């Protein structure tokens, strides 16, 4: 599976996010993780820059909320993303669409110097079980964003690609492509039900009250 650009506004670059004014909660969050940020000087600088952008993105986009942030070793974030999430709680029952995903995100030091497997960044902590071609059907529920993501891919882009994948605006459907499809049964199900794709066409930049 190729890593595709997420179907969101292209204005969410570093310069535009730098203009976002942080509120008290995100300011306090950044100050808290700054004091416990570990690693080399270069790695600390990169983690803090990524964490700052993440907080600014959450500040301006109602779809994203940061539960926890940890920079002690890797950059680890517990996030709530308001997005369509396909689930199949009963194998013989209908598809159920959840309205949000709790994500565990890990941004490792190696990712800034070397390409990384596309499944190494995002884990869907809830809901469960997710029924999606690019989500592993085990308890980990890893989300594959491509066979490989380039070195230095910004965390904001990972969030946007996650939104595109879960809405199924960008998705790998070929069960023969082991690099992208982690759940062949789900891929085959959606191939038989193409009218369900995409699950949503709503843009990423919407307020929290918007429908996914």
Beta bridge partners of 81: 64, 101
Question: For the segment 8-40, what is each residue's pLDDT rounded down to a tens digit?
Answer: 444 566 678 989 999 999 999 999 999 999 999
For domain 14-196, give the CATH number.
3.10.110
User: What value does the mean pLDDT of the chain take?
Assistant: 90
Question: For the segment 77-126, what is each residue's pLDDT rounded down to a tens digit?
Answer: 999 999 999 999 888 889 999 999 999 999 999 999 999 999 999 999 99
Give the start-to-end residue ranges of the domains of the chain.
Answer: 14-196
Question: For the segment 126-181, what is each residue's pLDDT rounded down to a tens digit?
Answer: 999 999 999 999 999 999 999 899 999 999 999 999 999 999 998 877 766 656 79
């Amino acid at each position: 599976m190729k890593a595709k650009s997420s179907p969101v506004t292209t204005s969410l670059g570093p310069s535009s996010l730098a203009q976002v004014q942080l509120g008290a909660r995100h300011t306090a969050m950044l100050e808290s993780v700054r004091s416990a940020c570990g690693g080399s000087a270069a790695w600390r600088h990169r983690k803090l820059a990524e964490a700052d952008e993440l907080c600014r993105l959450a500040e301006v986009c109602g779809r994203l909320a940061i539960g926890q942030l940890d920079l002690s070793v890797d950059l680890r974030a517990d996030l709530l993303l308001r997005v369509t999430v396909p689930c199949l709680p009963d194998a013989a029952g209908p598809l159920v669409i959840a309205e949000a995903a709790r994500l565990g995100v890990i941004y490792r030091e190696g990712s800034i110097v070397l390409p990384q497997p596309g499944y190494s960044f995002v884990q869907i902590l809830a809901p469960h079980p997710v029924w999606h071609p690019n989500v592993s059907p085990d308890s980990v529920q890893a989300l594959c964003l491509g066979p490989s993501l380039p070195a230095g891919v910004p965390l904001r882009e990972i969030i946007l690609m996650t939104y595109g994948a879960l809405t199924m605006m960008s998705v790998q459907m070929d069960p023969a492509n082991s690099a992208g499809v982690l759940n062949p049964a789900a891929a085959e199900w959606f191939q038989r039900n193409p009218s369900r794709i995409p699950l949503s066409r709503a843009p990423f930049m919407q307020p929290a009250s918007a429908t996914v």
